[in-house]
């Protein structure tokens, strides 16, 4: 069972963090655009159970792929957000979407982010720009200690962490703003 352990921090600018990652000998792995499509049942039982079901379209200058993902409920009592995450690369976005729709799931949210993915020590450092939300840093690692070490190196260890996913943050924003289309939040 794959467990995601991550810290998410909102930042006003990405460039100072990118400079810190470089100064710490981080390695840029890829720059991608991710379009995330979230699905739920009509009764919203997944989101009410703190779970998520997503299809991600990820493109870069060199590659394109589609990933089906399930996220389980967050673990309680952890310093960083920790939850089961299962991912499966699929051949075709349309077929994956039809598969979920055929199982009575509904598309509830679709949004885009620009992500620069770095490797620093044993952790992934994602420098994200999310439509309508702004800029964020995510540090994901194999354990809490590894995440903490990278946050310290990036001078972010004392910053407030966000417990919510981008999907939850956007859902809250959609409740406030009627002018946004929840199925087309793209740059």
Residue 45 Cα distances to 145, 159, 168, angstroms: 33, 32, 14
Q: Please, which pLDDT band fits residue 79 given cuts at 50, 70 and 90? A: confident
Q: Which of the four CATH numbers 1.20.59.10, 2.40.320.10, 3.70.10.10, 3.40.30.10 does domain 3-176 have?
A: 2.40.320.10
List the chain domain ranges: 3-176
Is residue 1 scored above 70 in pLDDT?
no
Long-range CB contacts (within 8 A, 24+) of 121-128: 121/146, 121/149, 121/150, 121/153, 122/146, 123/147, 123/149, 123/150, 124/29, 125/21, 125/26, 125/150, 125/154, 127/14, 127/17, 127/18, 127/21, 128/166
Residue with tokens 């673990």: 75
pLDDT in tens, 119-174: 999 999 999 999 999 999 999 999 999 999 999 999 999 999 998 999 999 999 99
- pTM value surpassing 0.95: no
- Cβ-proximal residues to 68 (8 Å cutoff; 6+ apart), any chain: 54, 55, 87, 88, 89, 90, 96
Give the pLDDT confidence of 29-69 residue by residue, as tens digits.
Answer: 999 999 999 999 999 999 999 999 999 999 999 999 999 99
- Predicted pLDDT of residue 76: 86
């Amino acid at each position: 069972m794959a467990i995601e352990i991550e810290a998410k921090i909102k930042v006003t600018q990405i460039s100072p963090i990118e400079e810190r990652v470089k100064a710490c000998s981080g390695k840029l792995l890829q720059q991608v655009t991710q379009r995330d499509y979230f699905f739920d049942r009509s009764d919203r039982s997944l989101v009410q159970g703190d779970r998520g079901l997503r299809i991600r379209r990820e493109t870069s200058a060199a590659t394109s792929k589609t990933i089906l993902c399930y996220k389980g409920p967050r673990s309680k009592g952890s310093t960083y957000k920790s939850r089961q995450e299962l991912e499966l690369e699929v051949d075709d976005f349309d077929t994956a979407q039809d598969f979920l729709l055929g199982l009575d799931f509904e598309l509830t949210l679709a949004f885009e982010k620009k992500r620069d993915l770095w490797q620093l020590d044993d952790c992934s450092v994602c420098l994200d720009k999310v439509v309508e939300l702004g800029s964020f840093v995510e540090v994901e690692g194999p354990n809490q200690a590894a995440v903490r070490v990278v946050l310290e190196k990036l001078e972010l260890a004392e910053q407030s962490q966000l417990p919510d996913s981008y999907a939850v943050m956007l859902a809250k924003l959609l409740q406030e703003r009627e002018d946004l289309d929840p199925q087309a939040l793209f740059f």
